[in-house]
């Protein structure tokens, strides 16, 4: 895997936590108990990370990069998977992680958002 920074980057997000989902054999990154990233393998044992995204942006990214596909075992409109042995630039993957985090954070209650963002201070 060439994106060794993923774990540290995901956990650098305010309020981010991670766990390991044994039945999925995958690491989940969560904010307020909701998943914003899932890192594991596809059925051929290729390393992937799956991220939430705006549907039109996700579609555009899939057209632009062969190593970004519709979410593996996820909603194909709102999630995308990135092969971690692929050629997606670091900055694009970081933007995808940022978007996923923001979308999930914004889906939380205003009260919980405030509590999580106050941890930053």
Is residue 33 classed exposed, middle or buried when 0-12, 13-18 and 19+ CB atoms within 10 A define those classes?
Answer: exposed
Rounded mean pLDDT, 26-41: 96
Q: What does the pLDDT read at residue 108?
A: 93
**Class of the domain covering 6-118:** alpha beta
> 3-state DSSP call for residue 103?
helix
Boundaries of every domain in the chain: 6-118
Rounded mean pLDDT, 48-53: 96
Q: What does the pLDDT read at residue 83?
A: 95
Q: Per-residue pLDDT for 121 more than 70?
A: no
pLDDT in tens, 73-105: 887 889 999 999 998 999 999 999 999 999 999
Q: What does the pLDDT read at residue 97?
A: 98
């Amino acid at each position: 895997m060439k994106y060794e920074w993923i774990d540290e980057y995901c956990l650098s997000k305010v309020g981010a936590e991670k766990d390991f989902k044994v039945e999925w054999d995958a690491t989940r990154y969560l904010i307020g108990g909701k998943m914003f990233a899932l890192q594991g393998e596809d059925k051929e044992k290729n390393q992937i990370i799956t991220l939430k995204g705006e549907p039109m942006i996700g579609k555009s990214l899939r057209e632009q990069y062969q190593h970004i596909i519709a979410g593996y075992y996820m909603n194909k409109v709102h999630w995308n998977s990135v092969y971690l042995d692929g050629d997606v630039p670091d900055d694009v993957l970081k933007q995808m992680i940022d978007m996923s985090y923001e979308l999930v954070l914004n889906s939380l209650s205003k009260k919980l958002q405030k509590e999580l963002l106050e941890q930053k201070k």
